[in-house]
Each structure stands twice: as structure tokens, then as C-alpha cells.
């Protein structure tokens, strides 16, 4: 190998060694940082980032499933928050002279409220010692803890979503230890060791899946187990036992489970070290009794079953949200065919005596023939011209079509038939005294007050001639023209007596 080749090889090896040295240094720094880092800053998403399988069998009886669809939708609204929780009172290691404690909290970057319609909203889970948590929805009123036993007590609190899933960002958890009258060894966890805080399940449930959730403090990341194998807790696990059946969780995240039996179920959580043994510290082993009754009517059960949509209950994550009213098309109501019983019977109205006059065909409306008066005297004499007062006879113009404009408004009336004048006797006085036809009053039918009722024609009594008036002629005189009757000519062989005028048709006089 030449000298120059050896020099190049040495430079390459030196560079590789430098890179390897920096890599080792970086790994050591990272391992030291990871060993000191606590689990309080971990925020692991289940079913929201990397989607787990729809159903994963984790034991003989229980299966892990995806969160309900409505909860997945609502959770996105709260992703912008990083709540910061502080216990204002009591102060850490404070000795109180009474057994009633007033606890005050301060929360930043998260609205704390309860929706009045659904009774859910972002809140705090407050755990005194290792008792079941108390939900706090109002920060304006202090939480009063009465009748505390003398000695040491620890208060733990963390922010929670409306469906009781805890926020796991750094700062979402707070803890303080205080004393009533005096200090004791009870309820005083070691701050150098991990602390397991049991959250859910708790209380009553009306639908599956059921949330399993907890909070971890001082637990290192699992990455530290590869860098520092001598740490006895860097490869921690959580053992969950339900109704005597156990399974292991190796991650800190919310889990939704199916397989609970109706009625009472007991749940136990344990923090295990690298060897799988429970880690001795206060609160690291907790058991709860829950009651599962399917078909619950509470809001959370209805959300889990999907009976409520995300837009209906979005006000539990946003206090300023107003639910939109769903517009549903009205269901068409089937129309019922009216029966005879449901149709009201028409009230019979009194009809006038002459409600309808039988219609006479236009062929019958002809001018009656007037027979000439027989001659009386053989000797004709010139007679003075006589102007009869009622010689003009209105000519009745019969329209070709009988049902034009006014057929629906007016009824046809029977024109009285005028009998031809009988032969006049030779006696002159009797002929002069021949009575003239009096004007007949017109019978005007009463206007119908209700809807026309079809009435079967019935035989009508003969109408007296006096009931016919001239209203028809006078009312429609503008539509018909009068034509004077032909002037009567003197009959031949008339006696010297005055001529007897033809018997004219009496024209109704206008009133």
C-alpha cells in the first residue's frame, strides 16, 4: 500500500470515528435526558392519530375497539387546548387547624363549564387520597371537603374532556399534600417514584364500549429502557384486571373496552416495574366497582350508542355553539275519503212558490194571429183616424241561441197565450164595451241565496196572468226594438157607427 493511499485511509477512518463519536455523544445525552423526563408530558392519542384496528382481542372476554364516532368528532374541537391546572389552596405541606378544607383551583387555556341541556362539559377530576374522583364544573365556587380525618392527605387534580377522558399534556395535572392537625405516613406518595392515578371506569354505565383511563406521574418514557437497562422502572407496564381476567397495557392512553357483563363489574389497575411486579408507592394499586346496565338514557350512553349526532351535542365542547335545527320534510298525511256520515247534510231552504218556470221552446213563442173583425154594416163611411193609445205591440225578438249571455242568470218565463178575440155580435154597444187585456204583473224569481241546488222538476201550478209584469220588457227594452203593429184599415161594408178597433195586445205599462 502506498503512503498516499495510507494517508487517505487514515483520514477516512478519522472522519468516520469523529462521526461515530458524535453519534455516541448524542445518544448518551438523549438517554440522560430521557431518564430524567417524566410521563407528565406524554400525550398519546388512541384512534385519532394512528388508528388501531376496529376490534382487537386483548383477553378471552374483553376487546379493545375504536372510540365512538361522535367522540372522535368532538375531540377535534378540544385539540387546540393545552390546559394548565393549579391548586391555589391548600398549599403544599400546609397544616390546617380544622378538618374542613376549602379547595380552590385555577385553570388556563381550557373553558370549564357544564352544558345545561346535556349536563356535560370540560371539567376537572379531583381525587382526594385514593377515593373516586369528584367532577368540578365551576371554578367560581370552592370545593369544600368536610370531615377529613386527622393526618396527611394528598389532593390530585387533572383536566378532563366532557366524556371523562383526561388531558395528558404537560401542566394538565397538579398535586399537593397537606395535613389535618398533624402529619402521618398515610396518603403520602414518594415524589421520586411513579404515581398511578385511577380515573375511569367509575360509577354507572348504560352503553358499551366503556372508557378505561388513568394518569401517570414520574413514569419515564419507554425509550429509556433501551438506553439504561439498569433502571428498574423504565420498562413499566400497567396491569388491568376486570372480573378476575387480566391483560397488560404498555402505553399511556385511553382505551375503549367491550365485554362487560350487565350488573356489577370490578376493575383493578396496577403499576408494574421491569420484572412485572407491582411498584410499591401510594395509590399505585387501585380497585373500583362499577355498574353496567345496557340501554341507559343518560347523555353519555346515547352518545356512545350514536343516538345523538355530533352537531346536536357540540355545545358540550364549545359553550358558544348553537345547535342547528334539523329541517325535516313533513310526512304527507294520507287523505281520507269522506264518508256519508262526515259530510254535513245541506239545510233545506224555503223555495218560492214560482221557483222555476218551465222553459218553452223558441218555436212556440210566435205572434198570435189576430183575426179581422167581421163586418157589421154594409154602408161604409169615412171614419176619422183613430189613434189607439196601446196599439203598439212590442215585437219579441227571439235569439237564435237560447243559452247565450244571460242564460245562467235569468230563467225563461212563459209568455201568456192570448186567445183570439171571439166574433163580435152585431150589437154595437156590446162590442164597444169589450174589455181590454189588463197588464199582467211579472213574476221575478228570487235570487238564490246559496249555491244552486239541483231540484228535480215538479209540476207547477198554473201561474195567474196577473202575476206577469212588464219588468222583463222594461229591463231588456234596450236589447229589443219595438216595431209598431200594422195600422188597421177600415173593413169594407162598415156601418155608420164608429169603427171598432182591432183588439190589440195590451202592452205592459211601466210603473
160: exposed, middle or buried (C-beta count within 10 Å: 0-12, 13-18, 19+)?
buried
**Average pLDDT for 30-59:** 50
In a domain? residue 288: yes
Lowest-confidence region among 8-12, 19-23, 487-491:
487-491
Q: What is the pLDDT of residue 345?
A: 55
**What are the grid coordinates assigned to 251, written together?**
402505553
Quick check: 189 pLDDT over 60?
yes
pLDDT of residue 397 exceeding 60, the answer is no
Is beta strand 263-272 parallel, antiparallel or unpaired with respect to 285-292? antiparallel
Taking the CB of residue 106, how many other CB atoms lie within 10 A of it? 11
Specify the number of domains making up the chain. 2
* Assigned domain for 323 exists: no
In a domain, 40, yes or no: no
Residue 429: per-residue pLDDT: 45
The per-residue pLDDT for 23 is 67
Range of the domain at 229: 46-80+190-318
pLDDT-based confidence at 45, cuts 50/70/90?
very low
Residues 151 and 202 grouped into a single domain: no
pTM over 0.85: no
Residue 30 lies in a domain: no
Task: Tell whether 195 and 313 lie within a shared domain.
Answer: yes
Looking at the structure, do residues 157 and 272 belong to the same domain, yes or no?
no
pLDDT band at 55 (very low <50, low <70, confident <90, very high): confident
| Same-domain status, 73 and 97 | no
State yes or no: pLDDT of 170 exceeds 60: yes
Task: Answer whether residue 51 is part of any domain.
Answer: yes
Are both 197 and 177 inside the same structural domain? Answer: no
Closest CA to 216 of 246, 235, 232, 193: 193
Q: Is the pLDDT of residue 231 over 60?
A: yes
CA count, 13 A, side-chain hemisphere, 1: 8
Q: How far apart are CA 329 and CA 134, in angstroms?
A: 44
DSSP 92: T
Read off the pLDDT band of 511 (50, 70, 90): very low
| Residue 499 is assigned to a structural domain of this protein | no
Instruction: Return the minimum-mean-pLDDT range out of 27-31, 332-336, 358-362, 507-511.
Output: 507-511
Confidence at residue 232, expressed as pLDDT on a 0 to 100 scale: 82
Rounded distance between C-alpha atoms, residue 511 and residue 508, angstroms? 9
Segment 393-400 mean pLDDT: 50
Band of pLDDT at residue 221, cut at 50, 70 and 90: confident
Are 211 and 150 part of one and the same domain? no
- Segment 307-336, tens digit of pLDDT: 999 999 999 999 998 876 655 556 666 555
Residues 183 and 125 in one domain: yes
DSSP secondary-structure letter at 319? T
Residue pair 363/400 in contact by the 8 Å Cβ criterion: no
Q: In terms of domains, do 133 and 162 share one?
A: yes
pLDDT tens across 419-473, in order? 555 544 444 444 444 444 455 555 455 555 444 445 555 555 555 544 444 454 4
Is 172 in the same domain as 212?
no
For residues 203 and 308, state if they share a domain.
yes
Asked whether residue 211 falls in the same domain as residue 176, the answer is no
Alpha helices in 221-361 (DSSP H): 224-227, 299-305
103 & 228 share domain = no
Residue 501 lies in a domain: no
Task: Pick the last residue of a domain from 153, 188, 223.
Answer: 188
Q: Do the domain assignments include residue 393?
A: no
Q: What is the CATH number of the domain that holds 251?
A: 2.60.40.10
Mean pLDDT estimate for the chain: 74
> Which of 21-25, 308-312, 387-391 is the least confident region?
387-391
**For the segment 137-155, what is each residue's pLDDT rounded down to a tens digit?**
999 999 999 999 999 999 9
Amino acid at each position: 500500500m502506498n503512503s498516499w493511499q495510507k494517508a487517505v485511509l487514515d483520514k477516512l477512518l478519522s472522519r468516520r470515528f469523529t462521526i461515530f463519536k458524535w453519534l455516541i455523544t448524542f445518544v448518551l445525552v438523549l438517554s440522560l435526558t430521557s431518564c430524567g423526563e417524566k410521563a407528565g408530558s406524554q400525550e398519546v392519542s388512541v384512534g385519532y392519530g394512528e388508528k388501531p384496528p376496529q376490534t382487537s382481542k386483548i383477553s378471552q372476554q374483553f376487546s379493545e375497539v375504536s372510540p365512538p364516532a361522535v367522540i372522535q368528532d368532538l375531540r377535534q374541537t378540544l385539540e387546540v387546548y393545552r390546559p394548565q391546572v393549579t391548586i391555589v389552596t391548600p398549599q403544599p405541606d400546609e397544616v390546617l387547624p380544622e378538618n374542613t378544607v376549602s379547595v380552590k383551583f385555577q385553570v388556563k387555556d381550557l373553558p370549564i363549564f357544564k352544558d345545561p341541556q346535556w349536563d356535560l362539559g370540560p371539567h376537572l377530576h379531583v381525587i382526594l387520597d385514593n377515593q373516586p374522583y369528584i367532577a368540578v364544573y365551576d371554578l367560581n365556587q370552592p370545593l369544600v371537603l368536610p370531615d377529613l380525618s386527622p393526618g396527611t392527605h394528598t389532593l390530585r387534580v387533572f383536566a378532563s374532556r366532557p366524556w371523562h377522558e383526561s388531558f395528558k399534556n404537560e401542566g394538565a395535572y397538579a398535586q399537593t399534600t397537606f395535613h389535618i392537625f398533624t402529619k402521618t405516613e398515610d396518603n403520602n406518595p414518594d415524589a421520586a417514584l411513579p404515581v398511578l392515578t385511577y380515573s375511569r371506569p367509575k360509577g354507572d354505565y348504560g352503553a358499551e364500549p366503556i372508557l378505561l383511563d388513568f394518569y401517570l406521574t414520574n413514569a419515564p418514557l419507554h425509550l429509556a429502557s433501551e438506553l439504561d437497562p439498569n433502571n428498574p422502572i423504565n420498562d413499566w407496564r400497567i396491569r388491568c384486571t376486570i372480573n378476575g381476567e387480566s391483560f397488560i397495557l404498555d402505553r399511556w392512553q385511553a382505551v375503549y373496552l367491550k365485554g362487560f357483563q350487565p350488573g356489577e363489574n370490578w376493575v383493578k389497575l396496577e403499576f408494574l416495574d421491569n420484572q412485572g411486579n407491582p411498584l410499591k408507592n401510594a395509590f399505585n394499586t387501585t380497585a373500583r366497582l362499577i355498574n353496567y346496565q345496557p340501554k341507559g338514557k343518560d347523555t353519555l350512553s346515547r352518545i356512545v350508542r350514536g343516538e345523538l349526532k355530533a352537531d346536536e351535542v357540540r355545545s358540550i365542547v364549545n359553550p358558544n355553539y348553537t345547535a342547528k335545527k334539523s329541517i325535516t320534510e313533513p310526512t304527507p298525511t294520507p287523505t281520507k275519503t269522506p264518508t256519508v256520515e262526515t259530510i254535513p247534510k245541506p239545510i233545506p231552504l224555503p223555495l218560492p212558490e214560482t221557483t222555476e218556470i218551465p222553459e218553452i221552446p223558441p218555436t212556440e213563442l210566435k205572434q198570435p194571429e189576430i183575426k179581422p173583425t167581421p163586418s157589421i154594416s154594409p154602408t161604409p163611411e169615412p171614419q176619422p183616424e183613430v189613434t189607439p193609445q196601446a196599439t203598439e205591440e212590442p215585437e219579441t225578438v227571439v235569439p237564435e241561441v237560447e243559452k247565450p249571455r244571460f242564460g245562467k242568470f235569468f230563467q225563461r218565463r212563459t209568455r201568456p197565450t192570448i186567445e183570439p178575440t171571439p166574433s163580435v155580435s152585431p150589437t154595437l154597444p156590446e162590442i164597444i164595451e169589450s174589455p181590454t187585456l189588463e197588464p199582467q204583473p211579472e213574476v221575478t224569481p228570487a235570487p238564490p241565496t246559496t249555491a244552486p241546488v239541483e231540484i228535480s222538476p215538479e209540476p207547477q201550478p198554473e201561474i195567474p196572468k196577473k202575476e206577469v209584469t212588464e219588468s222583463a220588457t222594461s229591463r231588456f227594452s234596450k236589447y229589443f226594438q219595438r216595431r209598431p203593429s200594422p195600422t188597421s184599415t177600415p173593413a169594407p161594408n162598415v156601418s155608420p157607427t164608429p169603427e171598432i178597433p182591432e183588439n190589440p195586445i195590451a202592452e205592459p205599462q211601466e210603473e
